[in-house]
Structure 1
Amino acid sequence: MDTQRQTLPTNTDSETAILELARREPELGQAAVSRRLAEQGLRISASGVRYIWQKHDLETAVKRLQALASESADGVAALTRNQRKLLERQSVNARLRRPRGSRGKQDGAALDRSAIIVDAAAELFSSQGYDGTSIRDIAARVGLLPGSIYHHFPSKEEIYVAVHREGFRHVLERIRAASAGITDPWERLRRACEIHVREMVQGSAVDRITGTSLALVGHESVLARVQVFRNDYEQVFRELVNELPLRPGADRSLLRLFLLGGLNWVHLWYRAGKRTPEQIAAAMVDMLRTGVEA
């Protein structure tokens, strides 16, 4: 332990040399950097190199290559051919080892490349909008070259459609699983509303954009393709509302649209730490069921 502490870089010359090598030869590992610096008369252990890398958020080859690309106006194109291949390979491999998280398959199964692209695109569509997001943006987010994106999706529109296909599929699965075995129609509706709200405000980027961005795209051809998935989703709520014991003459279609409209606006006013998705769903369904008049 004492030996390691003594070999940690403690002066700006050592740190500058490590950072310079990170820019000049980002592919080098910490042991190789330690040896290279030793040739320059700087005695720094491999663990010391890693300490400096971590300090500057450069501890992986992917991060060092991304940092190098971000310094150039050309982005990833500024890297050498071998560096671009390394960045693409290691970026994807790292994501393939990462659990799917809130939208994941069981047992933390790895993402395939198409799912990685869909996840990254959903994040960008949410933050930048459809028109403000380019294939180059999506490629940079996942550490791929733009040409590699086209290998999986022929256009940005296809990616956008895939985002919604996956989002609606996931939330439908959750709603059906949550309502299975429940006989009370009001409780089934409450469970569906709870999942809708939770996925919109706490789910992955794919889940969030599914419930919020349909009307914001402004492209009729894209809207028409996404509407197919939304129709399937609304059919579930149509069935839930049709099973409710309502007074004669109640407009079930208007009730369904009223409820879905309210649910979809939650993302605008939701604040974590106040009402939970469970509380929001329960309150909305209760107001539908019993009214609010004193």
Structure 2
Amino acid sequence: MATQQATPTATMQDSEAAILELARSEPELGQAAVARRLQEQGYRISPSGVRYIWQKHDLETTVKRLNALAADSTEGMEALTDSQRELLERNSVTARLLHPGGNGEKSTDEPLERSELIINAAAELFSTAGYDRTSIRDIASRVGLLPGSIYHHFPSKEELYIAVHREGFRRVLKRAKAAGEGISDPWERLRRACEVHVHGMTEGSPVDRITGTNLALIGNDDIQARIQPFRDEYEEVFRELIDALPMRPDVDRKLFRLTLLGSMNWVYLWFRPGQRTPAQIASAMLDMIRDGVAPVAPQAGTQGRGPGITHEGPL
């Protein structure tokens, strides 16, 4: 629909109506482009004036204008063109990546740096599609960038994959160390670290989830070798926690650690929300292992297999 030419006596109400009409007919236009278009038609309006009207009607972003256009139509999203729907989807994903929430990493609404934005998008695609089936073009499309912009920050897909894991292990390492601060009981310290691990695997960001997946699945020994130092640093936290536990002298603490971490790393395959919480899963896993290794004081007439578990008479 063509915008009506302004009359010499055009009022602010006329300008507002013209701005809103363009918001419906050409929602992709930015404030400067809208101002120029209306100035050519005789309206006295500046880019900041356009933005003021947009904000007044909650239309200051392309996403909001496209959503409003769909909401005002009986056809809903079908009222948008293919390119508009693609733009809306891309920008909606970018908005989620800018403010991922729930991962404990950002306490403000400050946007992420572009490299962090790329890492988050790459982690999401690596988690869902896998390393081999994810391309740099896919990642660039997810964040609304050209592939060349990705290469400006990361020279190859392999380097980006390494960066995703470096960031993932950095985050979970920080949380695991903080989880046990101020707790004297060694079993409780380990339990808190396990809860952090399982929570990241099941309800964390894509960067958190990919950290615990089996690296061998990508079938690339070179990449696995480069990621291994990050994993070793993280496993050192659990090694120290497990070394502090009271256990029978014959317990293989390394096997204990590998069994525990291996069990937790596969939770993401079978976890379903609405059943056990991540904390409950972590505690149950630890208890099942603990019951077999914790020292038990002999008691007359009983056989114990763990703290609080005794069996009267023959098994």
Instruction: Say whether the fold is shared (TM-score over 0.5).
Output: yes
AA aligned to 2:210 is I
Work out the CA distance in 2 between the residues paired with 1:29 and 1:275. Answer: 52
* 1:208 CA drift (Å): 0.5
| Contact 1:103-1:170 at 8 Å conserved across structures | no
Aligned match of 1:198 = 199
Work out the CA distance in 2 between the residues paired with 1:110 and 1:179. Answer: 30
| Larger Rg belongs to | 2
User: Given the superposition, is the C-alpha separation of residues 70 and 273 from structure 1 closer, same or farther in structure 2, using an over 3 Å criterion?
Assistant: closer
Per-residue displacement from partner, 1:143-184 (whole Å, max 9, x unpaired)? 111111111110111111111001101011001111112111
Aligned match of 2:83 = 67
Work out the CA distance in 2 between the residues paired with 1:161 and 1:103. Answer: 22
User: Given the superposition, is the C-alpha separation of residues 66 and 257 from structure 1 closer, same or farther in structure 2, using an over 3 Å criterion?
Assistant: farther
* 1:110 CA drift (Å): 3.1
AA aligned to 1:280 is I
SS in 1 for 2:108: helix
CA RMSD for the aligned pairs?
4.0
Work out the CA distance in 1 between the residues paired with 2:57 and 2:178. Answer: 51
Work out the CA distance in 1 between the residues paired with 2:70 and 2:32. Answer: 15
SS in 1 for 2:182: coil
- TM-score scaled to structure 2, two decimals? 0.68
Aligned match of 2:3 = none
* 1:225 CA drift (Å): 0.7
SS in 1 for 2:212: helix
Work out the CA distance in 1 between the residues paired with 2:189 and 2:213. Answer: 23
* 1:277 CA drift (Å): 1.1
| Contact 2:186-2:241 at 8 Å conserved across structures | yes
- TM-score scaled to structure 1, two decimals? 0.72
User: Given the superposition, is the C-alpha separation of residues 49 and 206 from structure 1 closer, same or farther in structure 2, using an over 3 Å criterion?
Assistant: closer
Aligned match of 1:284 = 285
Work out the CA distance in 2 between the residues paired with 1:236 and 1:160. Answer: 23
User: Given the superposition, is the C-alpha separation of residues 149 and 219 from structure 1 closer, same or farther in structure 2, using an over 3 Å criterion?
Assistant: same
| Contact 1:122-1:206 at 8 Å conserved across structures | yes
Q: Does 1:111 align with 2:128?
A: no
* 1:54 CA drift (Å): 1.9
AA aligned to 2:209 is R
AA aligned to 1:53 is L
User: Given the superposition, is the C-alpha separation of residues 220 and 246 from structure 1 closer, same or farther in structure 2, using an over 3 Å criterion?
Assistant: same
User: Given the superposition, is the C-alpha separation of residues 49 and 163 from structure 1 closer, same or farther in structure 2, using an over 3 Å criterion?
Assistant: closer
Aligned match of 2:121 = 120
AA aligned to 1:54 is N
Aligned match of 1:245 = 246
Aligned match of 1:53 = 66
Work out the CA distance in 2 between the residues paired with 1:27 and 1:65. Answer: 18
Aligned match of 2:142 = 141
User: Given the superposition, is the C-alpha separation of residues 49 and 190 from structure 1 closer, same or farther in structure 2, using an over 3 Å criterion?
Assistant: closer
| Contact 1:237-1:256 at 8 Å conserved across structures | yes
User: Given the superposition, is the C-alpha separation of residues 224 and 49 from structure 1 closer, same or farther in structure 2, using an over 3 Å criterion?
Assistant: closer
Residue pairs, 1:15-164, within 5 angstroms: 18=24, 21-22=26-27, 26-27=29-30, 53-56=66-69, 67=83, 70=86, 98-99=98-99, 101=101, 102-164=103-165
| Contact 2:131-2:218 at 8 Å conserved across structures | yes
AA aligned to 2:182 is G
- Name structure 2 gaps, 5 residues minimum: 1-12, 43-52, 73-79, 293-304
| Contact 2:123-2:206 at 8 Å conserved across structures | yes
* 1:130 CA drift (Å): 0.5
User: Given the superposition, is the C-alpha separation of residues 176 and 139 from structure 1 closer, same or farther in structure 2, using an over 3 Å criterion?
Assistant: same
> Which structure's residues are more often helix, by fraction?
1
| Contact 1:201-1:270 at 8 Å conserved across structures | yes
- Name structure 1 gaps, 5 residues minimum: 8-13, 40-44, 77-86
Deviates more, 1:165-174 or 1:235-244: 235-244
Work out the CA distance in 1 between the residues paired with 2:57 and 2:38. Answer: 12
AA aligned to 1:256 is R
* 1:134 CA drift (Å): 0.7
Aligned match of 2:261 = 260
Work out the CA distance in 2 between the residues paired with 1:69 and 1:55. Answer: 13
AA aligned to 2:260 is L
* 1:248 CA drift (Å): 1.7
Aligned residues: 252
User: Given the superposition, is the C-alpha separation of residues 95 and 203 from structure 1 closer, same or farther in structure 2, using an over 3 Å criterion?
Assistant: closer
User: Given the superposition, is the C-alpha separation of residues 219 and 288 from structure 1 closer, same or farther in structure 2, using an over 3 Å criterion?
Assistant: same
Per-residue displacement from partner, 1:208-249 (whole Å, max 9, x unpaired)? 011114222111111111111011111111111111111121
* 1:31 CA drift (Å): 6.0
AA aligned to 2:177 is R
Aligned match of 1:236 = 237
| Contact 1:30-1:49 at 8 Å conserved across structures | no
| Contact 2:27-2:65 at 8 Å conserved across structures | no
Work out the CA distance in 2 between the residues paired with 1:107 and 1:148. Answer: 26
